[in-house]
Structure 1
Amino acid sequence: MEPPASSWGFDDLADLDPADDLVAIGADLRPGTLLAAYRRGLFPMPSGDAHTPPYWFFPVRRAVLPLEAMVVSRSLRRSARTMEIRVDTAFDEVIAACGDPRRPDGWIDEGVVAGYQQLHELGWAHSVEAWRDGELVGGLYGVAIGGLFAGESMFHRATDASKVALLGLVSLLRDEHADCRLLDVQWRTDHLASLGVVELTRREYAARLTEALAVPLPRAFDGDAGPLMGRSAGPGE
């Protein structure tokens, strides 16, 4: 069961500190908690202390990738032509690679892995994977609720492979509901900005989120479709 909205400690965006991305500490990473949080614009990060519960963020400036605005370089197009996009065929391997403790600034711990594996088993969390010659070379994972895809992390083992996976995700989201879909990437970085990511205010994001939640899942993440293999990576094809 999902916790009531009031358990998050705010009833309106005006209740949030306008200068602080961190909005709550506590709760757990069970499926109902995670889904309730994403529907309200929040996402979790581990505290880094095994004795401290998760931190919950609703960034003052939220990074999103407009589906029509992804920047695709010539080199990315070339890389995309050498890779195959698959969906949900290697979720555990993708999240394990994203959480590799050898990665700099790694934040994915065992609790995060367990929580999102549960979401995946229930059909809410998904992986978009880049394969080359039968080998997983990159990918990303996130949560899909209606028209929201909340990207969590990505990795690569070959040049451009994570960007090819992102390109594949954008292609999968471009359907008859594309104008209402929301591809959330949490925070802006220079790397993401180079791919076309922009920032929204909290109120802008909340409005877009409400619109996105009202549309159906894209076919790629519909449980009735089953795992998808060999899907085009979009403009790079």
Structure 2
Amino acid sequence: MVPWLAHDDPFPPVDRALSASSGAPGLLAASADLLPARLHDAYQQGIFPWYSDGQPVLWWSPDPRMVLKPAEFKLSDSLRKTLKRVARDPISEVRVDDDFAAVMRECADTPRLGQRGTWITSEIVEAYSTLHRAGQAHSIETWYEGQRVGGLYGVSFGRMFFGESMFAHKTDASKIALSALVGHLRRHKIEMIDCQQNTSHLASLGGREIPRREFVAHLKQAVREPQIPWRFDKSVLLDMLERHPPTPAP
């Protein structure tokens, strides 16, 4: 039985989440509200909300947990060429927090293969925008010819980043934003990005699953660290290019 959380109830321990043999592996609890304070507490414990309109707020902590370690980011030769072009092209930009809520809405509105509707409801946008105003959530945006063409958003506590969603209206636009994020996090020696659940797209970029206990152990230490700065531009892409030289010709 998944517990129902009243207004002031704490989250149960994450090891009480439903197992892989259940119909909803990783489901931990449900509630009627998505208050910013509860959202803050959730991320501190490795818990995140995921639900659709008409459902209660569903809280999850899957095991295993999908993560992307910046040191393990895979930069293909084609993406490396794209980053090199973006780095030298004056009409290509990477912006941080230009319009956080707009990025969330773009993530919600962008069609995805095999997916109907979106979990990024107006309630979700408002709750995460509150975190953004507190300096705890950020958007990384790809711009081309003065137009936002891709980006991602996530939550940041201490030396931990929790990726939430991304979108692209131009080829590789979301990958450019992710590459910039990875470059920034590597500059500040961030060891892990939470990706929540496994997808083939994330796996192709170096994401992998780790046991929840390993994830939570890292999280508990990382969120206690001082917050990193969140102002950067596309110059971080040069770090990625330096760390990923071209594949030698056969």
TM-score, length-normalised on structure 2? 0.81
**CA distance in structure 2 between the aligned counterparts of 1:103 and 1:190, rounded to whole angstroms:** 14
**CA distance in structure 2 between the aligned counterparts of 1:173 and 1:196, rounded to whole angstroms:** 15
**CA drift at 1:84:** 2.4
- Whether the 8 Å contact between 2:17 and 2:60 is mirrored in structure 1 is no
Which residue in the other structure is 1:195 paired with?
205
Which residue in the other structure is 1:224 paired with?
none
Structure 2 unpaired stretches of 5+: 1-6, 87-91, 243-250
SS at match of 2:103: helix
**CA drift at 1:92:** 2.0
Which residue in the other structure is 2:19 paired with?
18
Q: How many percent identity over aligned positions?
A: 41
Are 2:59 and 1:56 equivalent residues in the alignment? yes
- Whether the 8 Å contact between 1:59 and 1:202 is mirrored in structure 2 is yes
**CA drift at 1:102:** 4.3
**CA distance in structure 1 between the aligned counterparts of 2:110 and 2:173, rounded to whole angstroms:** 20
**Counterpart amino acid of residue 110 in structure 1:** S
1:119-160 CA deviation, whole Å, 9 max, x = no partner? 111211100111222221110000001111111100001101
Residues 149 and 198 (structure 1), Cα distance of their counterparts in 2 relative to 1, 3 Å cut:
same
**Counterpart amino acid of residue 31 in structure 2:** G
Are 2:75 and 1:72 equivalent residues in the alignment? yes
- Whether the 8 Å contact between 1:182 and 1:212 is mirrored in structure 2 is no
**CA distance in structure 2 between the aligned counterparts of 1:236 and 1:129, rounded to whole angstroms:** 19
Which residue in the other structure is 2:173 paired with?
161
Are 2:62 and 1:30 equivalent residues in the alignment? no
**CA distance in structure 1 between the aligned counterparts of 2:59 and 2:27, rounded to whole angstroms:** 6
**CA distance in structure 2 between the aligned counterparts of 1:14 and 1:123, rounded to whole angstroms:** 30
Which residue in the other structure is 1:208 paired with?
218
Which residue in the other structure is 2:108 paired with?
99
**CA distance in structure 2 between the aligned counterparts of 1:95 and 1:182, rounded to whole angstroms:** 22
1:203-236 CA deviation, whole Å, 9 max, x = no partner? 011111112112222222xxxxxx5444432424
Are 2:45 and 1:40 equivalent residues in the alignment? yes
TM-score, length-normalised on structure 1? 0.86
Aligned pairs, number: 222
Larger Rg: 1 or 2?
2
Are 2:196 and 1:186 equivalent residues in the alignment? yes
Structure 1 unpaired stretches of 5+: 221-226
1:144-192 CA deviation, whole Å, 9 max, x = no partner? 01111111100001101101111111111113533xx320011111111
- Whether the 8 Å contact between 1:117 and 1:125 is mirrored in structure 2 is yes
Which residue in the other structure is 1:232 paired with?
236
**Counterpart amino acid of residue 36 in structure 1:** D
**Counterpart amino acid of residue 202 in structure 2:** L
Further displaced range: 80-89 or 197-206: 80-89
- Whether the 8 Å contact between 1:95 and 1:113 is mirrored in structure 2 is yes
